[in-house]
Structure 1
Amino acid sequence: MGTERAGGAPRARARALAYAACGAVLLAGCASMPDHGDLRDVESTPRQDTQVRVFAMPPREDAEPSEIMQGFLEALTSDDPQYETARQYLTENAARKWRPELSTTVLANGPDTATDLTGDTEDDDHYSFTLTGTKIALVDAEQSYAPAEGQYSRQVHLVRDKKSEQWRIDGLPQGIVIGESDFQRNYMSVDKYYFASNTADAEAGAAAQPAAVADPVYVRRRVDPMTQVVRSLLHGPTNWLGPVARSSFPLGTALRKGATLTPDEQNRLTVPLNDKAARVGTAKCNEMAAQLLFTLQNLTPAVDEVELRAGDRKLCELREDRAPAVAAVGSARHADYLYFLDGKHRLVRISADSGTTSTEVVPGALGEGATPLRSAAVARDEHTAAGVGLDGKALYVGSLASGGSLGDPVLVSAGKTETDRLTAPSWDAYGNLWVADRDPGNPRLLMLRDGKGEPLEVRTPGLDGRIKSLRVAADGVRIALVVEKDDEQSLLVGRIEWERVGEQSAVRIRELRSATPELAEVTAMSWAGDSRLVVVGREEDGVQQMRYVQIDGSVPEGPAPDALTGVQEIAASEDGRLPLVAFSSEDGIVRMESGTQWQKVVKEGAAPVYPG
């Protein structure tokens, strides 16, 4: 999300009563309100401390329509778990039909509210308002975030009850509408975890250990987020991720009715499930527990161990330190080295997690310099590497062991110029090598099984433009592409889907979606977490900036990396403990450890990469 906007609702600020003793804020939505006229600028309420609970006030006796409308909108920004106070502003019938969980529409400045002059406002017992604003995002019923644009316009109808003489809302859109700053205050992004399916492991007979896949969702920050996210996890992956991910929880598994999840003093969480999970075996139960541990690792309080139960029966228990043995998660994989090209266009490396700047040439032909390179990629096991020749025409694969020869290129581009040839390559989790050929006459995304053999053309339905760069995620089922068209670049994330066509394998990239809709230029990018990327780019008529983005197009909490001039390439690891590394035209290879500033590594160097 963007920064909090200035301005706001002075009336809302005047009505907020803070009770420090009980840690709550009451939104007094019905005090000091005008009795007639249009409502304007229903801005998001001021940002409160994240530990402060915010509750709304119920409607005041004999409140006018404008006051009812304002109070209802403020109730939508509260921490009321079931929106019970908001429902008090509705008629009984409307309250029964309204489903706030269906969607959350996020507007840039909160909804503007104006009297609907085309409605029945002249009727003494009826009144209508129109809510308007500029859409920036939509969170759907699966709690999945997606950027949105365009104008929002919905009508809200009020009626005066003939018996009580009180105004109430009897017609309103489903879901809720909220301003950007209130969304930032009320919601947080959490990765829930599933396992990769429909991938190269089934084709190649890879190791049995499944790869964990992050599926980001937004939950309400102060409304029992642990129980919320576990319920979402049990519900299954979002529609976007579903075709390439599976859950080890049996279909229909849910929390026991009325369960609320809280870890004990030893950070141990007991998860009571319904009978759908009662007959799972130990191996399957361990996978279920691993999904829970991966999902809950970034919540507070921390969870170090989970115990799964169904009825009175204990199914299994798993500690956090044993979870990586059950499933491989990208953020837990630790690289030994950072790699880059030195001034002689050779592949070299330094220790990934130490402060040393001591560089060594990699063993094998790619470090000998006989074939100068312009880009390289190192397999995730760090036993093999690939490099594109200095002119961008040929792709080579070689062992990172002494004495190995390079041999003939595994792929050659027919592009006439260097910019119309091969992109930097990328390795997936199964040892397959990905690269794009930018030849205008035959632009293609290609994959080489195990880095050798006949390249397999990857179909990209819906792709509009040429691929400028690519990076495959550690889970092997998602790919990030920088796509170029009409001198603009966009960062897209898509699913990698495998299928059989006769005796052959086929691979497609499905449902590409933008991760940086506001950027007109993307210079460089890299995966920087299980669902996060680091991006260098600029907005229209803006200056170059570096930022983190989520794969769903939202911006994660926390500071952006420090500014750096002239960045042309960026390298990060899914393991957030490793430094961020960049190539700057002014400073060469530089790196930044967490909480520190950029530091020079070498002046003569380019194309930094971690394994992947």
Structure 2
Amino acid sequence: MTRRITCLLVAAAFLLGGAGCATVPSGGQVVEGESAERAERVDDPYVRLIPVKPHPEWGPAQIVSGFLAASASFDDNHKVAKQYLSRDNSWNPGLRPSVTVLAGRIDDPQVIKSTDRSATVRVTGEEVGTISSDGQYTASPKELDATFQLAKTPQGVWRITSLPGGEKAGLLLTQDDVERAMRTVNLFFYAPDRHTLVPNGIFLPVVNRQTLPTQLVHALLTGPTSWLKGAVQTAFPEGTRLKRRVHVENEVATVDLTEEARAGNIERMSAQLSWTMRQLSEIKRWRLQIDGETVTPDGMDATQPVHAWEVNSPDGRTSHDETHQDAYVVGPSGFLGTLEDDRAQPVVTGAAGSLSRPAVAPDYQEFAGLSSNADQVLVAAPVNGTPTPRVMLNAQEDARFTAPSWSSDGTLWVVESKDDESWLWVRRRGEEPVRAAHWGLGGREVLEFRVARDGVRAAVIARVDGRPQVQIGRIAQAPDGSLDVGSFLPVSSELQDAVDLAWRDYNTLAVLGRAKRDSQTLPFLMPISGSAITSLGVGSLGEPQTIAAAPGAPVLIGTRSSGKDQVCRQRAPSNSYSPWICPTPAKDPSYPR
């Protein structure tokens, strides 16, 4: 009977809508050749599920199974799922419910206690994570064991009287349910500099395509998720809401905010809205209204293009700007050089030129690197000639440093790590290095640390249960300037034995690692939302050791083959299938920003 319920649901489900699906971060297959941008589109078609109403002849186990299946439909505020409940059960998950995500569907709920009028049904399964009511996903692999209480109504049909977690319970959905009914979208908030936007990825239920613009703006006005709260700011004054739904006509959206928005900065609010709404392909321009009155940012028309406000990009300046971004490498004779036409052109020579894992500051005023055995962090300036390197940090016994990482404001970050503990060091320009006041990975070995260009997020490779795992954390600043760097969450379980990583853009990491089916370390693009990872390029790479990436720039790999160091790139970087070529005798490639 349970399988029949599932078949009824599936048979009724295949109606195409206009929004896409989301991949739960704990899993997802590796998709060969598909670009990360394609995998992240909000507008991909999705499968709408048409739920089945309870049948009068169904017993307690079938009622629970039908309820779980019907819960995956968000139509009419879970109207059909509520028909499985007794009349005195006021369960109401709402438009953005909390979700417990299961690896697969529960096919056989078990009746563990039963009388003529009541029953207890037990469900078990493999929990992979949770989605909070604000859309934040957290991996939490464990076994699920929950019970439902049921009773017969005066009409002689079984109904659920009590849910696991009570009337405030959320949903129990499978990964397939989440992929079908929800989308991963970005909301954009401001970094502490009040200028740079920071993406906040959330899982958003999609009821129908027409309501998605309103859902998206409403989520933005609600504020950041608990994970990012305290690390970012919003330009919308407290209490600002949508006065009416977002209206879209002829590719122009109208966003009408309540009176509270008059106290906000029009330009800063516009940037947040533009970056958030540009994810929807049907919106090309939009107008901002406050209490029905159109307001216009300085220097703009009444209708703004959604691709305006590039100055607030989370990636900062890109290679499309006037200032070209060079890649830096360590040349074969021990010099720091720029990579030009596949040749390393010396820039810094002498002792400073032979530092390991060098990283040039975004303003090109100084650079940092490691000693040959990674037990010292050294800095030098300027980035030319033969500057004398200065020791900034010495590691404790049996400790090593991660490669230096710069944030856009000139702050230098590096992690000192042992087998089972680590410390984050931060050096602001013109100051001495200090340990971060609060460091969320203090009890783990950290192999790599990279600050995002927005300065609010950080990607790490940390050893978890003996394996290197890619995680994302957030950087919050207290009023006194102290830092809280923590709340690290795993990004994907599809890679194991990660070796190195870099931020390709605000949505995507370039990672060297080994997929579960592979025996070799290879490069991948990893969306930080946890969507499917993408293999990058084809061909032999020898023994890849380091990776470098930047917006609009080729991904570079430092590898060792036949005892020689080489820097590799794709023959045609814009094509993810393009083969790797290794024309440059050098190592440790990096981009300044």
Mark yes or no: TM-score above 0.5. Answer: yes
**How far 1:525 sits from its partner (Å)?**
1.3
Identify which range, 60-69 or 287-296, moves more after superposition.
60-69
Answer yes or no: is the 8 Å Cα contact 2:243–2:256 preserved in 1.
yes
Give the distance between the partners of 1:537 and 1:73, measured in 2 at CA: 37
Answer yes or no: is the 8 Å Cα contact 2:255–2:287 preserved in 1.
yes
Partner of 2:310: 324
Q: Which amino acid counterpart does residue 525 of structure 1 have in structure 2?
A: L
**How far 1:443 sits from its partner (Å)?**
5.9
Answer yes or no: is the 8 Å Cα contact 1:396–1:406 preserved in 2.
no
Answer yes or no: is the 8 Å Cα contact 2:412–2:426 preserved in 1.
yes
Give the distance between the partners of 1:414 and 1:171, measured in 2 at CA: 57
Following superposition of structure 1 onto structure 2, how do residues 18-417 of structure 1 map, counting pairs within 5 Å?
Answer: 23=16, 50-97=45-92, 99=94, 101-117=96-112, 119=113, 121-122=114-115, 124-162=116-154, 164-173=155-164, 174-197=169-192, 201=193, 210-221=195-206, 223=208, 224-257=211-244, 259=245, 261-265=246-250, 267-277=251-261, 279-280=262-263, 284-301=265-282, 303-316=283-296, 318-325=304-311, 327-330=312-315, 333-334=318-319, 336-350=325-339, 356-362=341-347, 366=348, 371-392=353-374, 393-400=376-383, 405-414=386-395
Identify which range, 224-233 or 330-339, moves more after superposition.
330-339
Give the distance between the partners of 1:601 and 1:414, measured in 2 at CA: 34
Distance 1:191 1:345, change over 3 A: farther
Per-residue deviation, residues 210-251 of structure 1 (Å, max 9, x unmatched): 111111101124533332222111101111211110110111
Give the distance between the partners of 1:157 and 1:270, measured in 2 at CA: 47
Distance 1:345 1:135, change over 3 A: farther
Give the distance between the partners of 1:236 and 1:465, measured in 2 at CA: 31
- Alignment size in residue pairs: 540
Q: Per chain length, whose mean CA-contact separation is higher, i.e. which structure has more relative contact order (CA < 8 Å, sep 6+)?
A: 2
Give the distance between the partners of 2:204 and 2:511, measured in 1 at CA: 25
Distance 1:381 1:531, change over 3 A: same
Give the distance between the partners of 1:344 and 1:182, measured in 2 at CA: 56
Distance 1:104 1:549, change over 3 A: farther
Answer yes or no: is the 8 Å Cα contact 1:130–1:153 preserved in 2.
yes
Partner of 1:458: 436
Give the distance between the partners of 1:245 and 1:605, measured in 2 at CA: 39
**How far 1:57 sits from its partner (Å)?**
2.7
**How far 1:421 sits from its partner (Å)?**
4.1
Q: Which amino acid counterpart does residue 243 of structure 1 have in structure 2?
A: G
Give the distance between the partners of 1:114 and 1:96, measured in 2 at CA: 21
Q: Which amino acid counterpart does residue 325 of structure 2 have in structure 1?
A: D
Per-residue deviation, residues 250-307 of structure 1 (Å, max 9, x unmatched): 11111125x2x35332x32211222221x235xx122112111212223333x33332
Distance 1:67 1:100, change over 3 A: farther
Per-residue deviation, residues 76-109 of structure 1 (Å, max 9, x unmatched): 2235252112222222332455557431111111
Unaligned 5+ runs, structure 2: 19-43, 297-301
Answer yes or no: is the 8 Å Cα contact 1:379–1:427 preserved in 2.
yes
Give the distance between the partners of 1:495 and 1:446, measured in 2 at CA: 15
Unaligned 5+ runs, structure 1: 1-7, 26-48, 202-208
Residue 408 of structure 2: which of 407, 429, 434 is its match?
429
Answer yes or no: is the 8 Å Cα contact 1:54–1:78 preserved in 2.
yes
Identify which range, 177-186 or 515-524, moves more after superposition.
515-524
TM-score (norm. length: structure 2): 0.81
Distance 1:546 1:391, change over 3 A: closer
**How far 1:384 sits from its partner (Å)?**
3.8
Distance 1:582 1:225, change over 3 A: farther
Residue 590 of structure 1: which of 555, 559, 568 is its match?
568
Per-residue deviation, residues 396-446 of structure 1 (Å, max 9, x unmatched): 22233x5x55134151425568xx444321111111112234489996432
Distance 1:389 1:274, change over 3 A: same
Q: Which amino acid counterpart does residue 315 of structure 1 have in structure 2?
A: V
Give the distance between the partners of 2:12 and 2:109, measured in 1 at CA: 29
Following superposition of structure 1 onto structure 2, how do residues 428-577 of structure 1 map, counting pairs within 5 Å?
Answer: 428-438=407-417, 444-450=423-429, 452-462=430-440, 463-484=442-463, 488-499=467-478, 505-516=481-492, 521-538=497-514, 543=519, 544=521, 546-551=523-528, 555-557=530-532, 559-562=534-537, 565=541, 566-573=543-550, 575=551, 577=552
Give the distance between the partners of 2:76 and 2:485, measured in 1 at CA: 39
